[in-house]
Structures are given as structure tokens and as C-alpha cells.
Amino acid sequence: MSNDVQPGGVDFHCHLDLYPDFDAVIARAEAARIYTLTVTTTPKAWPRNHELTHHTRYVRAALGLHPQLVAERAGELVLWEHYLPEARYIGEVGLDAGPRFYKSLDAQKQVFRTVLERCADVGGKILTVHSVRCVPTVLEMIESHFPQDRGFVVLHWFTGTKSEARRAAALGCYFSVNAEMIRSDRGQALVSELPLSRIITETDGPFTKIDNKLAEPASIQTTIDAIAHVRKAPNDLIAKAILCNFRALIDANI
């Protein structure tokens, strides 16, 4: 991701290949100068995502194996490992203990442990991690299998408690925040207390909407404004902090 031109913001977790026109949404992110991480849900999607973003200025792809797909696609872990040398960014990965996916939780843990261990072996990877209804387990696995000096974890759409957020921050984790998170009182309370030095913005588009339209990188300013409102801080201060955090994350010598 280039930083030679003043950017328009950061969208550190979205699914650009799930929009109706993948090429067009990449072009809009580029035109808006939004540093964008487009995650994949299966390693089979990696080659196309990598091809379309490898030479863009602001958009990069992440290599993932989504926990919600592990029940059907755990066998693709071998393919994920095959592509790992090509990817600096990893995601979407993690655990989901929600009612629809709880039955596959043991398999999810096996996959996630392998992801963490392989990334630790290689070093220098930045992971965007899903942790629905299982934040303590995710943090335990990060602590056990992914030492802080081997890379970084960004907790995507974090829904844990304030004490879990403090534990995550102590483990070196960042938090990617989207506008949907801030619509609930609980989400507002959490975002107001997250360490500002660990917050990065995301949309998680197309799974969220802004102004009744699919959220996408070019609409990230709405998320910045929402964070500023919750934290009672100037919008430009939040925007600058997020860019500073992003650059610290991607420029770290690990």
C-alpha cells in the first residue's frame, strides 16, 4: 500500500469481490485514495483478488479462510498454506461460535491454530480476525500461537467486553471499527473506551449499509465521523490518528 499521496482514509476490512462489480468498486476506492484491505473468504478466491489488487496503489487483498465456511471448506487449508508466501495480509480468519456455526467450532479451532502457527513461522503477517461469541478463546489462541514479535492482529468488528478489549490491547491487537458497531449503546460504550492508538476503520461492506446504500471504502468518512462523535473528539483528530495507526501497523519492522 502506497503512502506517497495524501490518502482519504482507511478501510481495513471489506469484501470487494462480493460487490456486483469488483473492478468498479476497486476503481472507486483508488479514486477516493482509501487504503483498502479486501479480504477473501476462501483461498480459492485469492488468485483473482491478488491479480486485481497487486499493482493498485491503495487496495490490497488478504488471504482468508472464513470460520463460517470451515464446515464445508476445511480441506482448503492446504491451498491456503500454498498461497501463504504470496500474501502479507491474512483474512478473514478466526472463530465463530454463533448458533449457526457452533457445530464446526472444533474444526474452526484446528484451522485457526494452523493459520496462527504458519503466520508465526513466516513472520511479518497482518491478520484481520473474526471473533463472534468467542473472544476469550480467540485471545487465548493468539497468545499461545502467535507471539507479538511475529506479526499483528486486527480484531475485526470486535464485540467483546471492555475487559476483553484491554486484554487484547495488552496482546498488541488493533481493533477495526465500522459504523454499524456504533449504532448500539453497547457498541458506542466500547468504541469510546478503546485505545485511540489501536483503532482502525473498516466498512465490512457489502454486509453493512451507509445511508441505505452498500457501504464501501469510498464511504469511510461516515465511520470516522461516527467515531469522532462517540469519543467527543474533532473529526480531523480521529482521521489523523487512524492514518497514524495504519502506518504504524504496516510499516512496523517485524
Contact 187, 179 (CB under 8 A): no
Our measurement of the distance from residue 238's CA atom to the centroid of its chain's CA atoms, rounded to an integer in Å, reads 18
Report if residue 2 sits inside a domain.
no
Any residues with CB less than 8 A from the CB of 146 and at least 6 apart, and which? Answer: 116, 117, 119, 120, 127, 153
Tell me: the pLDDT tens digits for 149-170?
Answer: 999 999 999 999 999 999 999 9
Per-residue pLDDT band for 1 (boundaries 50, 70, 90) equals low
Instruction: Name the nearest CA neighbour of 224 among 186, 191, 248.
Output: 191
Model pLDDT, residue 26: 97
| Average pLDDT estimate for 24-42 | 97
Contact 136, 109 (CB under 8 A): no
Report if residue 144 sits inside a domain.
yes
Which range is least confidently modeled, 9-18, 95-104, 143-152, 243-252?
Answer: 243-252
Percent pLDDT > 70 in the chain is 97
Model pLDDT, residue 13: 98
H-type alpha helices, the chain: 22-31, 46-53, 70-73, 77-83, 105-122, 135-145, 162-170, 185-193, 221-231, 235-251
| Average pLDDT estimate for 33-47 | 98
Contact 156, 129 (CB under 8 A): yes
CA distance 246 to 113: 26
Report if residue 172 sits inside a domain.
yes
Model pLDDT, residue 252: 77
Report if residue 15 sits inside a domain.
yes
On the question of pLDDT at 96 being above 90, the answer is: yes
CA distance 118 to 113: 9
Which residue range(s) make up the domain with 125?
A: 9-251
Handedness of CA 104, 105, 110, 113 (dihedral sign): positive
Tell me: the pLDDT tens digits for 102-151?
Answer: 999 999 999 999 999 999 999 999 999 999 999 999 999 999 999 999 99
Task: State the distance between the two ends of the chain, measured CA to CA, in whole angstroms.
Answer: 17
Instruction: Name the nearest CA neighbour of 173 among 131, 235, 221.
Output: 131
| Average pLDDT estimate for 207-223 | 93
Per-residue pLDDT band for 7 (boundaries 50, 70, 90) equals confident
| Average pLDDT estimate for 233-251 | 96
CA distance 127 to 88: 9
Report if residue 3 sits inside a domain.
no
On the question of pLDDT at 173 being above 90, the answer is: yes
On the question of pLDDT at 6 being above 80, the answer is: no
C-alpha cell at 212: 441505505
Report if residue 23 sits inside a domain.
yes
Number of separate domains in the chain: 1
Which pTM was predicted? Answer: 0.95
| Average pLDDT estimate for 159-187 | 96
Average model confidence (pLDDT) across the chain: 95
Burial bucket for residue 214 (CB in 10 Å: 0-12, 13-18, 19+): middle
Model pLDDT, residue 3: 47
Percent pLDDT > 90 in the chain is 94
On the question of pLDDT at 11 being above 50, the answer is: yes
On the question of pLDDT at 253 being above 80, the answer is: no
Residue 41 maps to which CATH number? Answer: 3.20.20.140
On the question of pLDDT at 8 being above 70, the answer is: yes
